[in-house]
Every structure is written in C-alpha cells, then in structure tokens.
C-alpha cells in the first residue's frame, strides 16, 4: 500500500510492471544467436530471412525447426573482424529502413555481464539480435523541509525511442569499454549538466531486469539503478539535446501518477523503463510498501 495516500493501491503499479514484460508467449518465434558455442541473443524467424542475403557472414541453420540457430561465418575468428563484417550488414539494413534509428554507438556482444566481448554491434540493432543490453538509470532528488522532490526529464521530440515522454533525470545505455560508474558521470554531465564532483556521489541501489518482445525485436535488458541526492538549489541543464525540459515533482505526487493520470506534468506519460525504476525508488523511500499476506 502507499502510506502517504490511503486512497492509493498497487493495482496501477502492477499494471505498469506487466506492461514492462510483454510478449513471453512469442518466445518460440525466436532462435538462438550463437557465437563460439555460446548463446548471446535470439533472432526472430522472419528476421533471419534478411540475414540469408549475407551468407558470407551469417550462417542460418533451420530457423523453422526446433534446434535452429544463427551464427557467424567461422572464418570470422577475431572480435574486430566480426564487428566490421556485421557493421557492413547493419548499414545495408539501415539504409533499407529495416533497422531504424542508427546511433553510431557500439554495444558489446557477450553471453553475460562479466564475460569476454565476442564482438561489438550497433546499439540500434541490438534488439533485432536479442542481445542482453545494459544501462544505467539515475533518480536525482532533493530534500526540502523534510520532503523529497524528484527531478523528471522530458525526452526530446527528436529521440528515436519514446520521444516527448517523461524519463529519469539521467539514463543511458552502457557502451563498450566503459564502467557503470564512469557512465553515470558521463551521462550526468551530458543530460543534466551535473558536475563530476557531484555525480560521483551517486549511490548504486540495485538493478532491474525485463524482457520485452515487439515484432522482430527482443529486448532483454538489465538496468543498473542509482540514486543521487542533489543540492537543494540545483537546476538541471541539458547539454546534448536529448532532453527537452525538466520539472521538480514531490515524490509523493509521483507515487500517484498511475491513478490521477497527471499528464499535465510535462505533457506526456512515463516510459516503461522509468516506471520500473520509479517503483524501485518508491519502495526504497517507503512511499510504497509491499505486504505479503500468508
């Protein structure tokens, strides 16, 4: 229940959680993407037809049967060779409009977080290969007269994903060759103008994972969560053009967005990813309590 508002309940939050994990009934439409005998992703049966046009790079084995899989040409032995070869394919598919929203940012391809990188792939293509992606999301808050307030950002209308929607103060994918802590500092500066000295005070508070299937895309992401207490007079300033505006909202009010539908906050609703982390934050701040009845 929500102790700061007796009229609130968990129903709206549970609906948000369900929306964050869609398409589990469609898992059978995907086959493993295998590198060095390790599953690194999952590719939709229909999407494999595009890869068949690049038989010198991709080997597609029986996609319509149990036991089917996709792998790379065994001649591509080194990670850098795989990266270059696959990048050429992604560019062609992007030019055809099959993979939109190219970011020119590489994601590491590996079976688990601590595993060696097998090659690197354009970030926009990651969901089409069902890679496990990683990112950092940070709640930035201030305290005034004993009450907590949360800084919320509105995503730029030019963003390829969730344009114009509400988001955390700071968030970003984890690129190849950078640690979570380093990424927090980088994204803090780019998205909110937070100095390195302040950004380094961010506290790691856990992780949220989800699985989302939408047509040919299979997202299996892990988001590392951070909280940062900001100076009371801090005002964020976006530096990279990815955030349109910011607004400071009482945390208790954020907890009831799902019921009151206060769309007027910034003109839109939260992204699915933001709901996951807001729920985590509201629990940690005791604005929500999960009670198990035995």
**Which positions of the chain have pLDDT values less than 70?**
1-21, 63-65, 255-294
The pLDDT tens digits of the residues spanning 55-106 come to: 999 999 976 667 899 999 999 999 999 999 999 999 999 999 999 999 899 9
Q: Is 280 helix (H, G, I), strand (E, B) or coil?
A: helix
Alpha-helical segments (H) within the chain: 11-20, 48-51, 79-95, 180-192, 196-199, 251-254, 257-260, 272-284
Reference 17, options 241, 244, 276, 237; nearest CA is 276
Model-level pTM? 0.77
Does CATH place domain 25-129 in 1.20.120.1200? no
Residue spans of the domains in the chain: they are 11-22+133-284, 25-129
Report the relative pairing of strands 119-122 and 38-44 from DSSP bridges. unpaired
pLDDT of residue 205: 86
Q: Which of 273, 253, 282 is nearest to 265 (CA)?
A: 253
- Written in H, E and C, the secondary structure of 147-190 is EEEEEEEEECCCCCCCCCCEEECEEEECCCCCCHHHHHHHHHHH
User: Which residue, 281, 270, 288, is CA-closest to 20?
Assistant: 270
**Contact 239/189 with Cβ under 8 angstroms?**
yes
Q: How many Å separate Cα 215 from the centre of its chain?
A: 17
Q: Cα separation of 129 and 39, whole Å?
A: 11
Give percent of the chain with pLDDT exceeding 90: 54
Contacts of 196 (CB under 8 A, 6+ apart): 185, 188, 189
At the second CATH level, the architecture of 11-22+133-284 is: Alpha-Beta Complex (3.90)
Q: What is the pLDDT of residue 286?
A: 43
Q: What is the DSSP letter of 270?
A: B
């Amino acid at each position: 229940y929500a102790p700061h508002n007796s009229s609130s309940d968990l129903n709206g939050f549970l609906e948000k959680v369900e929306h964050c994990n869609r398409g589990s009934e469609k898992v059978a439409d995907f086959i493993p993407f295998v590198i060095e005998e390790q599953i690194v992703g999952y590719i939709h049966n229909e999407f494999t037809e595009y890869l068949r046009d690049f038989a010198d790079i991709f080997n597609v084995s029986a996609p319509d049967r149990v036991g089917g899989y996709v792998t790379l040409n065994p001649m591509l032995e080194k990670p850098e060779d795989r990266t270059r070869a696959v990048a050429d394919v992604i560019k062609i598919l992007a030019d055809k409009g099959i993979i939109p929203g190219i970011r020119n940012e590489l994601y590491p391809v590996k079976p688990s977080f601590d595993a060696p990188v097998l090659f690197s792939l354009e970030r926009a293509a990651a969901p089409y290969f069902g890679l496990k992606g990683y990112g950092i999301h940070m709640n930035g808050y201030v305290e005034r007269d004993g009450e907590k307030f949360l800084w919320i950002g509105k995503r730029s209308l030019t963003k390829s994903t969730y344009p114009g929607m509400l988001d955390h103060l700071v968030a970003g994918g984890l690129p190849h060759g950078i640690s979570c802590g380093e990424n927090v500092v980088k994204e803090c500066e780019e998205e909110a103008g937070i100095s390195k000295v302040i950004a380094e005070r961010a506290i790691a508070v856990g992780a949220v994972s989800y699985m989302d299937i939408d047509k040919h895309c299979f997202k299996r992401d892990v988001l590392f969560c951070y909280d940062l207490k900001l100076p009371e007079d801090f005002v964020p300033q976006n530096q990279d053009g990815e955030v349109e505006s910011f607004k400071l909202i009482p945390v208790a009010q954020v907890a009831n967005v799902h019921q009151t539908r206060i769309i007027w906050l910034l003109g839109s609703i939260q992204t699915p990813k933001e709901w996951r982390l807001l729920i985590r934050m509201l629990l940690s701040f005791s604005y929500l309590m999960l009670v198990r009845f035995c």
